[in-house]
Structures are given as structure tokens and as C-alpha cells.
């Protein structure tokens, strides 16, 4: 928080602790400003994380909790529901991660029918919790993959709208290797993030903005590394921006650098508010061909 981020998201957390995949499972493609990871949700489980989150209760800052399913779970939807119930009171929002490429089969939850079932269950759990505790409903964001066709984007948008998800996070890491072909790590299994993900994830973001209209909250993520790329996300339809790999290469001063750079862009463009930039390039991106 003190680095200058407007909000922070922790996770992915699964009900039971799990070790994740064997080492090595994380590869830096330094000259590409990219990472390939196949961590596989290594985490200490809900109870342990809940204890740590409880210890910072009442402290400043917006903290989202990203929830998932154990690799060997017999009922993945039940794992997400448990995540809602355990973290609802600690989280400012919940991120339902159905797009990690490192838990076999997880991404199939993105199909319209499965996503409908999942959202019905997690939204009901959230609403029930809020009613019982007489607290505000915490927003539920669904985190999607960047490897989606136009038809899949429509299907997910329909399910998110129909089942009243509060927003989408676009996007997770990609299985594609565009832009890193021939690199010595390009053949590693896992999700690719960082600079080579920018184009694809932004293309998908613009399509979700078109599919969901101007009022549906979207978080843009994938390849943000400076003020220019952060602004590109907003121009492609993002209300909020996240980054991960950018911090690996940019270091702890990155958020401050991005914020200063964005202010400069606003000054030069004589724009009073960043919201004026939102959607500016959606039409251009809609006209662009799909990423290879
Ligand atoms: C090492 C590493 C671990 C990640 N773990 C998770 C995770 O547990 N849950 C999740 O939703 N996304 C995870 N991601 C994906 C990032 O949150 C983000 O969506 C993706 O990397 C694209 O953004 P970036 O290009 O800024 O890194 C991970 C990414 C990296 C590089």
C-alpha cells in the first residue's frame, strides 16, 4: 500500500493449504520483460490467510481477496463458496479466479453454463452473508483469461450480467507465446505475463467493454509497466488497473513513477480527470484483428 497502489489483491487462496507445482516453476524472460509461471496456487490455505487478514482489520487501504479451488477438490464450486464465506468480512472485494492455466480444468469454469452455476452459488453466498451480518455486500469480480474468442467473450459477458457479478478482471496470464517465440524459456509450461501480454489482454478488454456497456466495472491487467501502458488500459475500457510482472522489472518505485507519468499526460492533454480517457480507444481496438 505504501508504494502508492490504490488497492491490493491477495491470493489466489484455496480452502486447504497446497504446495503447488514442483520447482522450477517460475521463469524470467528478462529481455522480453516477461515471466512464465506455473506456481499452481501454492498457498497456506484459507484459515492461515484469514488470520493474517484479521490482524490488519481496520487498517487503511482497499484489499481484495482472490479465491480459487484446490487442485484435488471434488467440488470446485464449493471451494469458491467457502472462499466467499471465509473472506467476506476481511475483503473489500472478492476476485473469483477461474482463469489460472496452472490448475488443470479450472479454465473450463469460464464456459457460459458452468460460469452461470458458479456465479449463482457465490453471489447467493455473498448475499446471504451480507443479510445475516447486516453489512454491505462486497463486490464480486470474476477474473478471466486473455485466451478467449469473440464468442467466448460474449458468453462470459452474458453470464456475468445475468448472474449479477459486480465486475470483471481482464486478464490472467496467457497460454500463447506470441512475442517470445524462440526464447529459451518459451517452451516452459505455464502462463506468460508482462510486456508480451499487453496487446492480447487489451484487445480482450475492449471487447468486454463493448459487450458489457459503459456502466459495468472492469479492471484492466496484463503488461502494464509504465504510465503509457496504464493509460492504454483505461482507453481500452478499464476503470481500474492492476499489474504484477511490471513490478518484478520496474521495482518498488514503479507505482509512483506511473502516477507521476499519468499526471503529466493529463496535463499535456489538458484533461481534468482520468475518467475522460476511458474508452477512448475501444473502437480502434474493436477494429483491430485478433492477436495472432
Ligand atoms: C508469478 C505470478 C503468480 C501469479 N499468481 C496468480 C494467482 O495466484 N492468481 C491470479 O488470479 N493471478 C495470478 N497471476 C496473474 C497476475 O495476477 C496477472 O493477472 C497477470 O500476470 C497479468 O498481469 P502482468 O502482465 O501485469 O503480470 C500471477 C502472475 C505471476 C507472474
CATH of the domain at 180: 3.20.20.70
Query: Within 13 Å, how many C-alpha atoms sit on residue 23's CB side?
Result: 0
100 is catalytic: yes
**Which pLDDT belongs to residue 215?**
97
Residue among 14, 42, 193 whose CB has most ligand 1 atoms within 8 A, to mutate: 193
Q: How many helices (H) and strands (E) does the chain have?
A: 9, 10
**Which pLDDT belongs to residue 290?**
83
Domain assignment present for residue 2? The answer is: no
pTM listed for this prediction: 0.97
pLDDT digit string, tens, across residues 72-100: 999 999 999 999 999 999 999 999 999 88
- φ/ψ bin of 259: left (φ > 0), alpha (ψ from -120 to 50), beta (otherwise): alpha
Domain assignment present for residue 1? The answer is: no
Look up the domain containing 192 and give its range: 7-287
The number of folded domains in the chain is: 1
Low-confidence ranges of the chain (pLDDT < 70): none
Q: Which of 73, 99, 100, 193 is catalytic?
A: 100
The ligand 1 atom nearest the CA atom of 95: 11
Domain assignment present for residue 292? The answer is: no
The ligand 1 atom nearest the CA atom of 99: 11
**Which pLDDT belongs to residue 234?**
98
Q: Whose CA is nearest to atom 23 of ligand 1?
A: 222
Domain assignment present for residue 14? The answer is: yes
Please give the distance, rounded to the nearest whole angstrom, from the Cα atom of residue 270 to the centre of ligand 1. 34
C-beta of residue 43 within 8 angstroms of C-beta of residue 18: yes
Please give the distance, rounded to the nearest whole angstrom, from the Cα atom of residue 10 to the centre of ligand 1. 11
**Which pLDDT belongs to residue 78?**
97
Amino acid at each position: 500500500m505504501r508504494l502508492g497502489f490504490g488497492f491490493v489483491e491477495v491470493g489466489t487462496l484455496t480452502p486447504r493449504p497446497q504446495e503447488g507445482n514442483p520447482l522450477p516453476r517460475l521463469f524470467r524472460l528478462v529481455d522480453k520483460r516477461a515471466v512464465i509461471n506455473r506456481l499452481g496456487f501454492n498457498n497456506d490455505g484459507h484459515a492461515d490467510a484469514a488470520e493474517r487478514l484479521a490482524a490488519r482489520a481496520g487498517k487503511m487501504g482497499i484489499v481484495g481477496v482472490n479465491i480459487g479451488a484446490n487442485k484435488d477438490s471434488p467440488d470446485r464450486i464449493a471451494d469458491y463458496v467457502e472462499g466467499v464465506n471465509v473472506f467476506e468480512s476481511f475483503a473489500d472485494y472478492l476476485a473469483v479466479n477461474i482463469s489460472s492455466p496452472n490448475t488443470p480444468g479450472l479454465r473450463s469454469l469460464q464456459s457460459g453454463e458452468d460460469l452461470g452455476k458458479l456465479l449463482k452459488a457465490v453471489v447467493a453466498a455473498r448475499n446471504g452473508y451480507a443479510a445475516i451480518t447486516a453489512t454491505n455486500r462486497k463486490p464480486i469480480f470474476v477474473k478471466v483469461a486473455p485466451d478467449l474468442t469473440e464468442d467466448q467473450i460474449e458468453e462470459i459477458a452474458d453470464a456475468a450480467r445475468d448472474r449479477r457479478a459486480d465486475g470483471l478482471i481482464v486478464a490472467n496470464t496467457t497460454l500463447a507465446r506470441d512475442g517470445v517465440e524462440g526464447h529459451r524459456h518459451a517452451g516452459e509450461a505455464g502462463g506468460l505475463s508482462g510486456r508480451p501480454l499487453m496487446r492480447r489482454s487489451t484487445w480482450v478488454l475492449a471487447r468486454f467493454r463493448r459487450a458489457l456497456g459503459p456502466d459495468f466495472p472492469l479492471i484492466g491487467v496484463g503488461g502494464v509497466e509504465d504510465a503509457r501502458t496504464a493509460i492504454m488500459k483505461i482507453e481500452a475500457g478499464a476503470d481500474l488497473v492492476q499489474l504484477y510482472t511490471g513490478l518484478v522489472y520496474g521495482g518498488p518505485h514503479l507505482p509512483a513513477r506511473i502516477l507521476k507519468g499519468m499526471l503529466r499526460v493529463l496535463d499535456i492533454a489538458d484533461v481534468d480527470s482520468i475518467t475522460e480517457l476511458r474508452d477512448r480507444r475501444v473502437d480502434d481496438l474493436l477494429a483491430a484483428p485478433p492477436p495472432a
